[in-house]
A and B are shown apart, each in its own frame.
Chain A
Amino acid sequence: MNKKNTELSISTGKPNVRRKSLVFDVLSHKMALVGVLIIVSLLCMAVFAPFLAPHNPNDQDLYRVLEGPTWEHLLGTDDVGRDLLSRVIFGARISLIIGIISTFISALLGSMLGLIAGYKGGMADMVIMRITDTFMCLPVMVMLLVIVTVLGPGVENIIIAISVLTWTTFARIMRGQVLSVRESPYIEAAHADGASELRIMFKNILPNAISPIIVAVSIMLGRHIMLESIATFLGLGVQPPTPTWGKALRVGYSYLEIVPLYSIAPGLMITLAVLGFNFLGDGLRDALDPRLRGEGDKLPEAAL
């Protein structure tokens, strides 16, 4: 019975992953579960920030500058007396938004270009691949600094800068997937059926090539958040008074000896975000990789 189902799904070119069991597979993977929990908590923190934060993050209290943790200010106060905990909670909003939007743009751009490069081949492929190779020669973070310096500070510019630098990863992945899927019998069948190229690209190739992209999206989400914090830390990027984690890290660093929490707390948040996305990405990878499904694990020790 099972055999029949997979054969049918191959001929229609639909992905041979049943959506319902994907969610189950991911959640049953303990590490992924932890990741999901972390991410959901952070998202809640961002969305419900006004309800969760004990104080307004922009309220300055110049009489209570750089204090350590007290009952009123659980994490202490910053250099102009603002409540650190509230700053960190609200910081989630900007940091996560920057991460999500830039990843979305980057993934979209990269996947499209990779799809074209892989499917069309020829000139388009050559040009796109040369461009990706060129970008890959320059370390992302360093280039990020340069581009942000060129574009100027601000949230939108950071998003653009990050997206422009990381799309190559998605392009590479998508192209590789398209190349391996392109020769499959069901693509030939679709051709024979008279489907237009665009239709084949989107309805047949894309769904089957999407798994590693999904994994990459998860991991890049974390990376982008980290990139923003690095850029802001070095003085470029988001401007005051917008609270982002990177900003707090930067200012907090100079007060490390007095109020270590000022930089350690936001840094911890960044770490958790990246960690959560990495765990999730890992879980997704294991769940989507058909070879690792079921009992067919190959093992190092075969001799009894």
Chain B
Amino acid sequence: MTKLLSVNNLSVHFSSGRGIVKAVDQISYDLNAGETLGIVGESGCGKSVSALSLLRLIPNPPGQIVSGEILFEGRDLLKASKEEICDIRGNKIAMIFQEPMTSLNPVLTIGHQVREPLLVHKRMGKKQAAAEAIKALKKVHIPDSDRRFAEYPHQFSGGMRQRTMVAMGLTCAPKIIIADEPTTALDVTIQAQLLRLMKQLTTETGAALILITHNLGIIARYADRVNVMYAGRIVEKASAADLYKSPKHPYTIGLMASVPKLDQDVKTRLHPIEGQPPDLADMPQGCAFHPRCRYRVEKCCVKSPQLRIVSHDHEIACWIDV
């Protein structure tokens, strides 16, 4: 498997009224061509920020990418020029955002927004791009796509808008698609449809998919490999199957245990993870998870663990072996 993307020691800091917030703290991971990488974690763990930094979309101020490198096709994206980044965005790497309601420009037609990447990157004429856009809308199962081309976002439902975003992302056949919580704002039934669609399209085009979510079920079903993030760091890396069969990090174990199961007895108590995620401006010393961890030892309160290999293709950032 060829390494398509290589993120090394990426750190993104935000300056807030209460000090420096390390939204992303020294994360490293690789992405292979054609694979689906799931990034999972609760709100505020840094998964969205890490995705935005791949395309250098971090608002500055207050955010800043302070260190690391993002290697894509042999180039470090963090050192690339403005033109080079603009060339990659929407073209080689595309991103689909969480909020279909607000992520589309309300005063421009759907069709125009979908064909725009083609106009910018492939230098197509307007008519030709329009035809391609209509085809793309058809592909994401938007009915009546030639009429819908001239409509406005407020005339589309939430699910349709999100599918439009997918179409928009795929127009230039990118090598990587980043989907940031693509289904969080949608109904459950639409969620399944959309994810199946995305998976199908990426398999067809051979693109890699980075799927960011807090929903473990989605990861189980659609991801090949998974990064679990907590408080700005990656705490476990494994294949999806491995992660579910044998999670090794206390946080992941806690997550798995907290999900109610269909075949569970109705009367069984749910097991949430005790405590709250840390205040990123005021992190505890040592391992960020230790205040909530029932396996903690003294070392955990002092030193922050790095990722280490526990078995084939399975790494965790923890001092102990559960």
Contacts and interface: CB of A to CB of B under 8 A. Distances in A.
- Chains A and B touch each other in the complex, with CB atoms below 8 Å apart: yes
Interface of A: 294-295, 297-299, 301-304
B254 to A, nearest CB: 22
A11 to B, nearest CB: 21
Kindly list the 7 A-B residue pairs having the minimum CB-CB distance in the complex, ordered from nearest. Answer: A295-B16, A302-B59, A304-B56, A295-B17, A295-B62, A299-B59, A304-B60
B82 interface: yes
A302 B58 CA distance: 6
Contacts of B59: 298-299, 301-302
Nearest to A295: B16
A304 B58 contact: yes
B15 interface: yes
12 contacts: A294-B17, A295-B14, A295-B15, A295-B17, A298-B59, A299-B60, A299-B61, A301-B60, A302-B57, A302-B60, A303-B57, A304-B56
Contacts of B58: 302, 304
Contacts of A299: 59-61
Interface in B33-74: 56-62, 64-65
A304 B56 CA distance: 6
Given A294-B16, A299-B60, A301-B59, 10 more contacts: A297-B61, A299-B59, A301-B60, A302-B57, A302-B59, A302-B60, A303-B57, A304-B58, A304-B60, A304-B64
A302 B56 CA distance: 8
A304 B65 contact: yes
A129 B16 CA distance: 44
A278 to B, nearest CB: 28
B172 interface: no
A304 B16 CA distance: 18
B56 A303 contact: yes
Given A295-B62, A297-B62, A303 B17 contact: no
Among A294, A301, A304, find the residue whose CB has the most chain B CB atoms closer than 10 A.
A304
B195 interface: no
B85 interface: yes
Nearest to B16: A295
A295 B61 CA distance: 9
Given A295-B62, A297-B62, A303 B82 contact: yes
A127 to B, nearest CB: 31
A298 B62 CA distance: 9
Interface string B15-34: 11100000000000000000
Nearest to B17: A295
